[in-house]
């Protein structure tokens, strides 16, 4: 969930929150010349394994930005019934499915590493929370830590606070999965899992989560 500039609180409206994933890429697949096409930054398996060790997801799981299956395969290996879709055809899951255009939840829970640019990260979070209201399931999004701190998102987090935020000690999401393509700013990126549960919560828990025990799995 990224923005090009900080906004004054009076400017914090829903402008910039796209209504469909495809709309964000209508000009082309590259949000920025130095970013991966369709914001494709695969999730290292250890990050998903760490999440599953800390959080339970009884029932089926939808991965709506599945790419080549980096998250979905870990979920399936853990015994979950997984629905994998993506806007783009990466040779895995069901392509041509625009998550932000979906009106029914395809599984109980939603877990993904969403595209961040052009308001997509924000829109994925909002839409996933709305869809899982149909199923009573959880939402888990892998997001940059700085996503927590921005005036545009402040009202959203106040209205829909995550139940838990898992700060990851080490996680690198390389462009196309290739470390050689990483920019200097990407090397400095830090990530967390934000997990939303349906119903009211008394407060958001912040927990530290290490990927180290899960790298050799």
Lowest mean pLDDT among 2-16, 73-87, 109-123, 148-162: 2-16
pTM over 0.75: yes
Model pLDDT for residues 90-125, shown as the tens digit of each residue: 999 999 999 999 999 999 999 999 998 778 899 999
Structural domains of the chain in order of their starting residue, each with its CATH number: 16-214 (3.40.50.150)
Model pLDDT for residues 158-200, shown as the tens digit of each residue: 999 999 999 999 999 988 898 898 888 888 899 999 999 988 7
Question: What are the helix (H) ranges across the chain?
Answer: 21-24, 45-54, 70-77, 120-132, 154-159, 184-187
């Amino acid at each position: 969930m990224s923005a090009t500039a900080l906004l004054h609180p009076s400017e914090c409206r829903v402008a910039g929150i796209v209504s469909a994933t495809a709309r964000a890429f209508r000009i082309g697949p590259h949000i920025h010349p130095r970013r991966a096409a369709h914001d494709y930054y695969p999730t290292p398996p250890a990050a998903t394994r760490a999440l599953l060790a800390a959080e339970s997801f009884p029932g089926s799981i939808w991965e709506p930005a599945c790419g080549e299956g980096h998250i979905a395969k870990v979920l399936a290996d853990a015994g979950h019934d997984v629905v994998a879709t993506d806007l783009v055809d990466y040779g895995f899951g069901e392509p041509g499915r625009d998550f932000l255009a979906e009106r029914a939840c395809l599984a109980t829970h939603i877990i993904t590493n969403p595209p961040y640019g052009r308001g997509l990260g924000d829109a994925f979070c909002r839409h996933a929370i709305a869809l899982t209201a149909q199923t009573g399931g959880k939402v888990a999004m892998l997001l940059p830590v700085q996503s927590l701190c921005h005036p545009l998102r402040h009202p959203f987090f106040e209205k829909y606070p995550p139940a838990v935020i898992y700060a990851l000690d080490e996680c690198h999401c390389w462009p196309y999965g290739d470390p050689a393509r990483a920019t200097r700013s990407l090397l400095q990126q830090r990530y967390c899992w934000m997990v939303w549960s349906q119903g009211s919560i008394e407060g958001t828990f912040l927990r530290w989560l290490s990927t180290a025990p899960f790298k050799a799995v």
